[in-house]
Amino acid sequence: MKNVYEFINWYYGEGDNFFIVAIDNKTNAISNYYHTKSSFKKYYEQVLLENSLWNKSLYFTINSFKAKDECEINETKKPRKTKSNVSHIKSIVFDFDEPETSKEDCVNLIKTLNMNPTYIQETSPMKFQVCYRLNDDNIDFKEYELVNKTLAKKFNSDINVCSIEKVFRLPFTINHKNGFETRIIKIDIENSYDFSMFSNKLNQFLVEDEKLAKYYEILKNKNRKNTQVGSKKPKDSTKSITKKTPVQNNAIDFNEDVYLDAHLIAKYQSLLKFNKDDASVADILYIKQRAKDTDNYDDIFNEIITIRNILEKPLKRDLSSYYDDRAQFMY
């Protein structure tokens, strides 16, 4: 396997629909392109131009989406890259993005699972993505996310990419954050697994690890609140919340009082400053620090959303999924 076209041609089946996502390195503008294998072949040269000449980093959806006429559409009448448009699961991927520990974590994953990956990709110097192809055609979406997130928690993989609609870096393309050409360092296309192998492994880990079991139960309980993927309307991040301090009234509605002392805002600002104004990183560090003072995650999450609005850094992601993704950092 030598290039993007060969990878896409191998990874997807003839009936698969997928997205190629291009992110502009200068403006952070995101373009989602819905494809079949035939349409990708037609626009392959344009994809290469976006990556090589137009400084756009490229990603692909690891799972397959519904046919175009069955998809929810956006305002331009194009399919949306959402959970509700996913048709079936194709792989489970672990994303190791901490250069200091990624290699060790990657080795630990493979050794502990005792399962050889379908492929391993280096996405940046000492950052890796490990992909396992799955045999099943009818994996339950919620069960997949629950197992994926909990295993990611155990192996220090990025939990924020465990939702079924997420994207991963496209092999053989340039990562324009640092100019690194992503490369597959190991591949065995014959390696594929039943999803039950991962869920069975997880069950063993839950018996052995009390903290992991607690995290698993938190995620599982949240899943019970929804009847099916895509059925629950996301919480509106523009609703007001009762507050004891004169902050802006566009925080989320969790029906909780938010007590915002000045030192909490200062703490968050300090985290922003020392993390190059990256609010996502600041959120994680803030949760970890505040977890030492309180075990009420709802309060902490409310604080973050309120502070973000005060600092004019409103959350742009789906509120419900972001709430779930960040819960892991309480433990």
Q: Divide the 331 residues of the chain into consecutive groups of 10 and give the mean pLDDT of each group.
A: 94 95 84 94 89 88 96 88 95 94 96 98 96 94 96 93 93 92 95 97 96 91 59 37 31 37 84 90 90 79 85 79 80 65
Q: What is the pLDDT of residue 75?
A: 79
- The number of domains in the chain is 2
Q: What is the pLDDT of residue 26?
A: 82
What residues make up the domain containing 302? 233-331
Q: Tell me the C-alpha distance between 222 and 224, whole Å.
A: 5
**CA 58 to each of CA 24, 50, 52, 66, 128: distance values in angstroms, whole numbers, following the listed order:** 9, 8, 10, 21, 16
Q: What is the pLDDT of residue 271?
A: 92
User: Do both 296 and 211 map to the same domain?
Assistant: no
Residues 6+ apart with CB under 8 A from 146: 216, 219, 220, 223
Q: What is the pLDDT of residue 320?
A: 72
Q: What is the pLDDT of residue 142?
A: 93
Strand partners, 94: 130
**CATH assignment at residue 199:** 3.30.70.1790
Q: What is the pLDDT of residue 319?
A: 76
Q: What is the pLDDT of residue 233?
A: 39
pTM score > 0.75 for this model?
A: no
User: Do both 217 and 245 map to the same domain?
Assistant: no
Q: What is the pLDDT of residue 242?
A: 32
Identify whether 51 is part of a domain: yes
User: Do both 128 and 251 map to the same domain?
Assistant: no
Which of 198, 223, 248 corresponds to the end of one domain?
223
Identify whether 254 is part of a domain: yes
